Structure 1
Amino acid sequence: MTAILGLFADQPLIYLALIVGIGVTIGRVQLRGVGLGPAAVLFTAIVLTALGSAVDVELILPEVIGNLGLVLFAFTTGLVAGPSFFASLRTAWQLVVTVAAVVCAAAVTVYLVGAAFGLSPTAIAGTFAGAVTNTPALAAAGGSAEATVGYATAYVFGVILMLVMVTLAFRFGNPDPDTPEKVIDLTVRVEGDDVGVADLRARHGNRLTFSRLAHDPAEPPEPVGDEQTLRHGDLVTVVGPPSEVDALVDEIGHRSSHDLTADRSALDFRRITVSAPRWAGRRVRDLELDRYGAAITRLRRGDTDLVATPDTPLQLGDRVRVVAPPEQMGQVAGVLGDSSRGLTEINAMALGFGIAIGLAVGLVPIPVPGLGTLSLGAAAGTLVVGLILGRIGRIGPVVTSMPLTSAQVITELGLLLFLAYAGTKAGSLILDAFTSGAIVDMLVTGAACSTVMAVGMYAVCRWVLRTGKVRLAGVLAGTQTNPAHLAFANARGGDDPRIALGYALVYPAAMVVKILLAQVLSAL
């Protein structure tokens, strides 16, 4: 066994691959429908590294592996959440205030309990960093041997408790008010007064669109434009959520026994992939598909179907439902790109420059009265830049985003690298923690801190702010500032983009507050 562990010590890439392989395999095992997912990589690394330490074999991965994984993860998480982040921020400021208050309460708890046990300020600060699973906070506390032991002692409980809280969020959380409804199409016969298509769309909050119009059942259908008027006796195909479609039927007529989508002689339909870079960040109306007699009625982003309105922004990798004359479908596909390669295009230019700018932003010193200066750090800096680039989509001719599929792949790759590194770092300290005379005191202190933060955030978000369960899972992961929890939440929630959004909403504030409080605790 010692010889094998020695091989891993000499060959860190082999050790890294082994950790990832074993961890992902364990993560796929489910008990009663619950599995650890990629978070199992973290625990695999802790156990294997601690095993090596027990026989005096140092199993450590190079720090650059962890840093690379962290910035890849943070930047692409920002890209995924960016399109929705800034719109949500206007109404989600309560979450930012809540996470700051809850982390402060956790810091007060760790100080009071640690002081009662007679722990030094340095040990208390390190225990706080471990309880909230935040390595930059450990560095802010000084990173001394005493602080590091406190960090390692409290770390594992902090990770496990928040995994439990994320599970509870999915199982018992509030229904999500923003859950996308399925999209259906229905042919309606108009029985009321004449009404404009644009007016109808506006009345229903742009949650509907129209794909086909026939003035007589015997005639082939034609495309529908916003400038057209629906007249008594017309047949029109409406596309939208069932509740909105039903409301429209009650307003203008009744369900027709005719199905205009069945006649594909004059108007055909097909899913086409948006892969041409020039359309990234553009709106549906910018395509000007009416010149081909074509229209986009819905789009599929990830695993979610959305109604396509003229103002819907496009992202690379979107699969759009196009309704067009059969002879024009090829030209429309050429305009949009329709390349499967577009789904896997990583946009290396945006990735490279974006991460570089994010790292630079993370280094900028921010004056803090009484504490000197503070910087966001690599993770928060790249996350912020990713959010901005994901939101704007393009700068002139330069595309700043990437397809959702590509971003999710890079996110998971970066996550696995970081978790493997973080696990080896924590695992190398576990034995020192257990041989420390203050191990029980630090465990209790860290557990109290972790409980206040995890349970407090869950309680306030669920019962006071009434946050939906999917977003709550992301908020809890962001509060902990540990990628393992986001990975676990994504595995449980099917990579729902609202998870990444919740994570991004609170992560920067949680990171900054934890670093500040670690410095305060070490100075008391």
Structure 2
Amino acid sequence: MDWFSQTLLSHSAIQAVIIICLICAIGLLLAKLRLRGISLGVTYVFFIGILAGALGNYFVPDKPLIDPNMLDYAESFGLVIFVYALGLQVGPGFFSAFRKGGTQLNMLSFGVVAVGTLMAMTFFWTGHFSLSEMMGILCGATTNTPALGAAQQALKHLGLNADASTAALACAVTYPLGLIGVIFALMLAQRPLKRIEPEQTKNDAEDEAFIASFEVLNPAIFGLTIAEVAQMDNNLFTVTRLWREGKVLLPQNDTVLQEGDRLLLITQENELKSLTVFFGKRDTTDWNKNDIDWNAIDSHLISERILITKPNINGKKLSSLNLRTRYGVNVSRVKRGDIQLVARPGLILRVGDRLTVVGQKDAIKRVSAELGNTVKTLDEPNMVAIFIGIVLGLLLGCVPLFPGMSYPVRLGLAGGPIVMGILIGAFGPRIHMVTYTTSSANLILRSLGLSMYLGCLGLDAGRDFLSVVMQPQALFWVLIALLITFVPIWIFAFVGVRFSKRNYATTAGMLCGAMANPIALSYVNDTTKGDKASIAYATVYPLAMFLRVIIAQIIVIMSC
């Protein structure tokens, strides 16, 4: 068995991969355990990493468990994969979310950053903690290693190398509590927030398509074409069917509306009241049930979902395809991921979108051939775009934001890839860049990257964790870190839900982004529906991280 012990104990690439994979596997197995329906999820990987690091240091004190260079590489690569895949996931909805309240979310996250920093400086001004200790505690409580790196660089630049080591030690002790502290703070706040959550936000679906039917009773629109009516009203809607004298018609832009016509519309739920006033009357039929047989509504028209798989369609506007004019069909809605979008003319199409098309059977076949509709084509993600995006993200993270400074601020290893992922996910189709990945492929990338990152982070912190925790001073570090973690979260969780009228998922995602805590985001995603938390996280994360990095350097410069 010499080969076995040599493989596990001798530093090599194989040994590093085996140990990291074992840590991830054990942690993910424990993640399935639930206490009263609650699980810490992938956080267990971090704890198993700490345990492995502590045991390795106990049995072999003078030798790290795995090669430090391998550990640093695996930790960095895992983080890059996670944040880039997260950026790709939320990129398509990032800028629309920013227009619909992203500025407000960033102001809330700025408040989280400001309150936490002010609390840390208040404790420093009392004289009980040194500046280096307080910077380490602040970075650990907010799980922000780029800010720690920036603070250490500033301290070393001022010749305070010992203080830089103290900051790293304080961060190592408080970092695990910062990771899980956000989760526990959200656990304790979830029920109270749900009780005060405004009713209109609980099923918030501003972007999603809603199906409704209306009867034309408004004399002001009698005799007008559908195109003229659409220009008169500012509401977003698409007319997909028209009932007249017991017959079903496929409406065109030049179809003239008559009194008593019944229209089937695709719109957004928040437009219903104004559309009811505009058309005259809304009927009570619920068209949003999953069990509706659309092809049974009329005999000569069928409804079919067509998958876009041809790259040449990627990045084109729906109106540029002229499907209604060329084939006599209507596109009623577009499904992108788990979201149903209204098929507005200016909607930019992406590979992977599913178009609901209404029309004659032969016409729909021709539309299907033009768009592709070949599921097998999407089985393989565009890996070239993924690797190029990661390279561009890393380069972006290395660009000095303020070149004139002696130690310029950078977005770093986490900030650059997530910003690039967002940009490519949002604007890639506009330059006909196929960035589509299936939901399962994106989830695998995110899970793999986060597990690697946390396992390696735990290994790194576990080596000195037990010895440092036993020191009396460490207890005060932990208590202060818990306050810096809990207080800003509770304050702005209440402000976000009560005063900013945000739902719990969006507020929680914003808080996770402001605290730079991907583990807490994973917990929120497990306990809420949809991508609202992830979109809010990505909306505030770049600015919040940037602020923390700059503030860390400014505090050191101003206080020394």
What is the Cα-based RMSD across aligned positions, in Å? 3.3
What SS does the aligned partner of 2:356 have? strand
Distance 1:448 1:263, change over 3 A: closer
CA contact (8 A) 1:295 1:323 kept: yes
Q: Give 1:161's aligned amino acid.
A: G
What SS does the aligned partner of 2:42 have? helix
Distance 1:522 1:50, change over 3 A: farther
Query: Residues 492-511 of structure 1 correspond to what in structure 2 (within 5 A)?
Result: 492-494=527-529, 496-511=530-545
- Quote the offset at 1:273 in angstroms: 1.9
> For residues 445 and 188 of structure 2, what CA distance do their matches in structure 1 show?
28
What SS does the aligned partner of 1:398 have? coil
1:513 correspondence with 2:547:
yes
- Quote the offset at 1:130 in angstroms: 1.0
Match of 1:417 among 448, 452, 456: 452
Look up the match of 1:194: 223
Q: Which is worse superposed, 170-179 or 74-83?
A: 170-179
Q: Give 2:73's aligned amino acid.
A: V
CA contact (8 A) 2:315 2:432 kept: no
CA contact (8 A) 2:27 2:42 kept: yes
What SS does the aligned partner of 1:466 have? coil
1:240-296 Cα offsets, whole Å, 9 max, x none, are: 456756765663456499998524542111222222222233222233222222222
Distance 1:355 1:223, change over 3 A: same
- Quote the offset at 1:136 in angstroms: 1.6
What SS does the aligned partner of 1:305 have? strand
Look up the match of 1:272: 306
Query: Residues 205-354 of structure 1 correspond to what in structure 2 (within 5 A)?
Result: 205-217=234-246, 219=247, 221-240=248-267, 244=271, 248=275, 251-252=279-280, 255=283, 261-263=295-297, 265-290=299-324, 291-354=326-389
Q: Which is worse superposed, 129-138 or 450-459?
A: 450-459
Match of 1:152 among 168, 172, 186: 172
Q: Give 2:307's aligned amino acid.
A: T
> For residues 339 and 476 of structure 2, what CA distance do their matches in structure 1 show?
48
Aligned pairs, number:
519
Query: Residues 358-507 of structure 1 correspond to what in structure 2 (within 5 A)?
Result: 358-367=393-402, 372-400=407-435, 402=437, 406-494=441-529, 496-507=530-541
> For residues 434 and 256 of structure 1, what CA distance do their matches in structure 2 show?
64
- Quote the offset at 1:318 in angstroms: 2.1
> For residues 8 and 321 of structure 1, what CA distance do their matches in structure 2 show?
58
CA contact (8 A) 1:204 1:244 kept: no
What SS does the aligned partner of 1:119 have? coil
Identity %: 28
- Quote the offset at 1:467 in angstroms: 2.8
Look up the match of 2:114: 104
CA contact (8 A) 2:215 2:282 kept: yes
TM-score by length of 1: 0.87
Distance 1:310 1:244, change over 3 A: same
Unaligned runs of 5+ in 2: 154-163, 288-292
> For residues 383 and 27 of structure 1, what CA distance do their matches in structure 2 show?
26
Distance 1:278 1:254, change over 3 A: same
CA contact (8 A) 1:389 1:400 kept: yes
CA contact (8 A) 1:20 1:41 kept: yes
CA contact (8 A) 2:352 2:436 kept: no
Q: Which is worse superposed, 261-270 or 367-376?
A: 367-376
- Quote the offset at 1:200 in angstroms: 4.6
- Quote the offset at 1:133 in angstroms: 0.8
Q: Which is worse superposed, 471-480 or 420-429?
A: 420-429
CA contact (8 A) 2:311 2:434 kept: yes
Look up the match of 2:65: 59
1:129-175 Cα offsets, whole Å, 9 max, x none, are: 11111112222232843222201111122112211233356542534
Distance 1:254 1:368, change over 3 A: closer
1:470-495 Cα offsets, whole Å, 9 max, x none, are: 2111111111112212222222224x
What SS does the aligned partner of 1:438 have? helix
CA contact (8 A) 1:124 1:521 kept: no
Query: Residues 172-191 of structure 1 correspond to what in structure 2 (within 5 A)?
Result: 172-173=193-194, 174-175=197-198, 177=201, 179-180=204-205, 185=211, 190-191=216-217
Look up the match of 2:139: 129
> For residues 519 and 76 of structure 1, what CA distance do their matches in structure 2 show?
29
CA contact (8 A) 2:334 2:356 kept: yes
What SS does the aligned partner of 1:399 have? coil
What SS does the aligned partner of 2:408 have? strand
Look up the match of 2:186: 166
What SS does the aligned partner of 1:373 have? coil
Q: Which is worse superposed, 365-374 or 464-473?
A: 365-374
Q: Which is worse superposed, 394-403 or 46-55?
A: 394-403
Distance 1:397 1:255, change over 3 A: closer
> For residues 210 and 150 of structure 2, what CA distance do their matches in structure 1 show?
53
> For residues 10 and 470 of structure 2, what CA distance do their matches in structure 1 show?
23
- Quote the offset at 1:307 in angstroms: 2.7
- Quote the offset at 1:363 in angstroms: 0.9
